[in-house]
Structures are given as C-alpha cells and as structure tokens.
Amino acid sequence: MSIGKTFLGLLEGGSCHGYDLKRTYDEKFGQDRPLAYGQVYATLSRLLKHGFVEVEGVEAGDGPDRKRYAITEAGVADVDTWLAQPEKPELYLQSVLYTKVVLALLTDRPAGEVLDTQRTEHLRLMRELTRRKLAGDLTDQLICDHALFHLEADLRWLELTAARLDDLQKEVAA
C-alpha cells in the first residue's frame, strides 16, 4: 500500500499533525500493521519535498514543535491520478509453495505432506479470519473477505496440485 498516497487522501479531509495521520491510518488501514512514527515523518518529509503537502502551522507542544500538514493542489492531483489507475493484479507465478512441492518431488520427499501441511495452515487462518469477520465492523468484514477469497483460491490450487501430483512427479523426473 502506498502510505504517501493514503496520507494525501486523508489530508483532503483537513489539515492535521503527523500523530493524527498515524492514528487515523492505523484505525482505518493498519489494524494488523500499524505504522512506526519514523515512517510517518519520513513519508511526510518526502511529500513536503515533492510539493504534495505544506506546513500549515507550527504549534508548541510538550516536546518538539508540532507541525500541521495540509495537502496542496499538486497533492490533490496526485491522489486523483493514483485513484484513476488500476492496481496490477498480484500474480503468483513464483510461488514459494510451488517451489516447495517441486523440491520435495526432486528430493524424494513426500510432496503430498507439503500440500497437506499447507492446507491445514490455510484452513486454520480461514477459521481465524472468519471469527474476526463475524465480530468486526464493515471495514473488518471487507478486509477479511478479501483475504478469505485469496485463501479459497489457494485451497483450490492445493487440491488441483494434489490431484496432479503423479503427473507432476513424472515431469519433474524427466
């Protein structure tokens, strides 16, 4: 995720301090991976350098002075451009799991066990996400659905690979 673009979008709602941006980001997007303060201020520094934000004011605080950041017209244009561009779908053409299955076959290890272990882990994670989804708000539900759909696709691949394991063994051996 582009933290800078996200900050710009959040700043369109009004100017704020870096601390407020971090808190809003963590609440809306970073439940599982909150931002470090250093990352927040490094990102704001880059946005400032590129002219996407400006310092609207400086307030004295208990510690260092607190800067209030505001988005510029260039920042709004950058968000417009970013939102209009489609995201490249994530392809898994260099899958670690596929590599493990092939290496298991090449080294005469039980590739079916590799698939079974992964299936068990996928199902465990799906149960965890389903619990989180049922207890969560709409944001949590949508995030969990996205992850669950990807895990379901992975499970289909695991089943297909298990069904073709003998054929794959022959190709790998050749």
- Predicted local distance difference test score (pLDDT) of residue 31: 73
Whether 80 and 100 map to the same domain: the answer is no
- Predicted local distance difference test score (pLDDT) of residue 115: 94
- Predicted local distance difference test score (pLDDT) of residue 93: 59
- Give the residue from 33, 62, 84 where a domain finishes: 84
What residues in the chain have per-residue pLDDT under 70?
1, 92-94
- Predicted local distance difference test score (pLDDT) of residue 161: 95
Is 13 a domain residue?
yes
Whether 80 and 104 map to the same domain: the answer is no
- Domain limits for position 152: 96-173
The one-letter amino acid code at 171 reads E
- Give the residue from 84, 107, 140 where a domain finishes: 84
Question: If you write DSSP's letter for every residue of 42-107 in order, what string do you get?
Answer: HHHHHHHHTTSEEEEEEE--SSSPEEEEEE-HHHHHHHHHHHHSPPPPPP-TT-HHHHHHHHHHHT
- Give the residue from 84, 119, 140 where a domain finishes: 84
Whether 119 and 160 map to the same domain: the answer is yes
* CA distances for 88 relative to 83, 85, 91, 103, angstroms: 13, 9, 9, 29
- Which CATH number do you get for residue 67? 1.10.10.10
Whole-structure pTM value: 0.68
Token representation of residue 160: 């297909």
Cβ count within 10 A of residue 104? 19
Q: Which 3 state secondary structure label does DSSP give 2?
A: coil
Angle, alpha carbons 154-160-163 (nearest 5°): 145
Token representation of residue 23: 């808190």
CB 62 within 8 A of CB 84: no
CB 104 within 8 A of CB 34: no
**Total residues found in the chain within this entry:** 174
